[in-house]
């Protein structure tokens, strides 16, 4: 994945997606990707995952030249088979390509990126929203990080949280047993990042009401067994 800055500089992003859960890991951002850079990020990923890294049997990657032999060796040494996609076959890397389109449409195409640090900060926040606060149709309208052992209760209150300065909104149900009522002083300013949605009605559009209801009722799932990796040329 690549992103253009306001100074006409191209930045490259290396990320990995867990297929079953759609969980995304944004591993690095740079203007000059190299094979050694990708190798180090791959090793960092395996270290961060610790015991979870052994659950993944396959790594499906494209044929970018930055995927050198040491990159493949880092994963095969962990017991993960590396499967390159066929040449000129974007559908073979469909999950990664879909995430690139989603990230651009919802995030990077709507912001003016100034540099590597800015892009990394933006993508870290977006990945957190994508993994924990965004409903996915392929997961029956649940988020990748939803705990499969937690059964969502009926929501008597829904709270909205703004991400990236209001560019994105997250809707979180609050169980009836956790409701609190506080009287605000007239001079107290409201928190613009968190809105309270009560009484079965969501402040905003009909789409917002439908999204909040789906999030409150979304089911759970289990972890996955394969990865998709996208090179720096995308």
pLDDT tens for each residue of 57-89: 889 988 888 899 999 999 998 889 999 988 888
Is the pTM value of this prediction over 0.95? Answer: no
- Cβ–Cβ under 8 Å, residues 232 and 12: yes
Q: Are strands 58-61 and 226-230 parallel, antiparallel or unpaired?
A: parallel
- Cβ–Cβ under 8 Å, residues 100 and 1: yes
Low-confidence ranges of the chain (pLDDT < 70): 148, 150-156, 175-234
Give residue for tokens 């169980």: 175
- Cβ–Cβ under 8 Å, residues 66 and 232: yes
Residue 230: C-alpha distances to residues 24, 96, 116, 165 (Å) = 11, 6, 18, 28
Tell me how far apart the 2 most distant CA atoms of the chain are, in Å: 64
pLDDT at 119: 95
Residue 137: C-alpha distances to residues 22, 24, 129, 207, 215 (Å) = 11, 16, 15, 15, 11
pLDDT at 170: 81
pLDDT at 121: 95
How far apart CA 199 and CA 217 sit, in angstroms, is 16
């Amino acid at each position: 994945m690549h992103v253009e800055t306001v100074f006409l500089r191209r930045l490259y992003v290396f990320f990995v997606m867990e297929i079953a859960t759609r969980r995304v890991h944004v591993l690095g951002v740079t203007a000059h990707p190299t094979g050694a850079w990708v190798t180090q990020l791959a090793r960092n990923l395996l270290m961060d995952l610790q015991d979870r890294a052994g659950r993944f049997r396959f790594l499906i990657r494209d044929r970018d030249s930055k995927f050198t032999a040491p990159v493949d060796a880092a994963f095969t040494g962990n017991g993960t088979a590396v499967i390159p996609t066929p040449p000129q076959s974007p559908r073979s890397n469909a999950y990664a390509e879909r995430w690139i389109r989603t990230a651009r449409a919802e995030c990077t195409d709507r912001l003016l990126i100034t540099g590597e640090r800015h892009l990394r900060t933006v993508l870290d926040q977006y990945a957190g929203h994508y993994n924990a606060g965004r409903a996915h149709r392929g997961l029956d309208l649940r988020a990748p990080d939803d705990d499969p052992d937690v059964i969502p209760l009926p929501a008597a209150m829904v709270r909205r949280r703004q991400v990236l300065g209001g560019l994105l909104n997250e809707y979180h149900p609050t169980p009836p047993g956790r409701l609190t009522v506080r009287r605000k002083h007239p001079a107290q300013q409201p928190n613009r990042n968190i809105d309270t949605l009560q009484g079965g009605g969501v402040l905003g559009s009909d789409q917002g009401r439908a999204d909040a209801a789906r999030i409150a009722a979304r089911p759970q799932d289990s972890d996955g067994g394969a990865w998709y990796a996208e090179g720096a040329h995308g």
